[in-house]
Amino acid sequence: MLEITAQYFAAFREQAGRERETVATRSSTAGELFAEVAGRHGFRDAAARCKVAINGEMAPWDARLNSGDVVLFFPPVAGG
Amino acid sequence: MRGAMSFEISGAAIDPDALKAALVQAGAGACVCFEGWVRDHNDGEAVAALEYETHAALAVKEGDKVLAEAAQRFAIERAACVHRVGRLEIGDCAVWVGVSAAHRGAAFDACRYIIDEIKHRLPIWKKEHYASGTSGWINCATRGVAAPT
């Protein structure tokens, strides 16, 4: 089991009802963890339209997770 | 200005005149500026106000990257972009992009490139507050689903 801190932004934060949480998970990649928390919190956006950052850097969905990672989940963006 | 290229996230009102002054360069014969304003409607709904949220550190990192790309692709002198966060009212300037260049073609092209990339790549989110009392998160591909506030 990995212990990960997940952080949610904008619509994800409102849907999850929290800014962050600690997750004990068997997910080994950012994408797997996204599917897991999306299922739990009812996120409707496809991963392809969302972004993820690990420990302060943007990361691909297939990035491996390590215990202690801080994983930021970004819903589809809308600047401008 | 942090140099020839400058990207900022700001919680305070944008000052276009000051930003434009920082683009001045003896070799620049053209200046193109774009301002994105908060309008009172979107997709048939009357909009009362907007709220922008960001992850500032990653937005600045990606914004700097966009400006550096523009400087690589187009023959420009200077470029600057400021994006607002927080609550904005109708008519407020939400994003400002300015480019100076020797000639107008590169200035227009770079300005268009910067605003398009900023909208699609930066971790910035927009929540619309509707006159009807509901609100919704918007994104550049689909409209958000209105939810009661």
| pLDDT, averaged across chain B | 92
Residue of A nearest to B124 (CA): A79
Select the residue of B57, B62, B139 nearest A76 (Cβ to Cβ). Answer: B139
Residue of A nearest to B93 (CA): A80
Looking up residue A31, the CATH number of its domain turns out to be 3.10.20.30
What ipTM does this complex have?
0.89
Residues of A in contact with B124 (CB under 8 A): 77-79
Q: Is the pLDDT of residue B146 over 50?
A: no
First to last CA, chain A: 40
Asked if residue A66 is part of any domain, the answer here is yes
Residue of A nearest to B34 (CA): A80
Residues of B in contact with A10 (CB under 8 A): 53, 125, 127, 137
Question: Does the distance separating the beta carbons of A76 and B140 come in below 8 Å?
Answer: yes
pLDDT above 70 as % of chain A: 100
**The architecture CATH gives domain B5-133:** Alpha-Beta Complex (3.90)
Which among A17, A53, A10 has a CA at the least distance from the CA of B61? A53
pLDDT-based confidence at residue B141 (cuts at 50, 70, 90): low
Contact of A53 with A75, CB cutoff 8 Å:
no
Q: Is the pLDDT of residue A59 over 50?
A: yes
Question: Does the distance separating the beta carbons of A76 and B119 come in below 8 Å?
Answer: no
Of the given ranges (A35-39, A76-80, B1-5, B26-30), which has the lowest mean pLDDT?
Answer: B1-5
> Chain B closest CA to A71's CA: distance in Å?
13
Please return the burial class of A68, using the count of CB atoms within 10 Å of its CB with bins 0-12, 13-18 and 19+.
exposed
- Domain range spanning residue A11? 2-74
pLDDT digits (tens, 9 = 90+) for B54-104: 999 999 999 999 999 999 999 999 999 999 999 999 999 999 999 999 999
* Site from B55, B115, B127, B142 to mutate, A interface, most A CB atoms within 10 angstroms: B55
Q: How many domains does chain A have?
A: 1
pTM of the model: 0.90
Asked if residue A31 is part of any domain, the answer here is yes
Asked if residue A80 is part of any domain, the answer here is no
Whole-number Cα distances in Å, B5 to A59, B71, B76, B82, B100: 25, 8, 10, 11, 11
Residue partners of A66: CB distance under 8 A and separation at least 6: A2
Query: In this predicted structure, what is the pLDDT of residue B3?
Result: 57
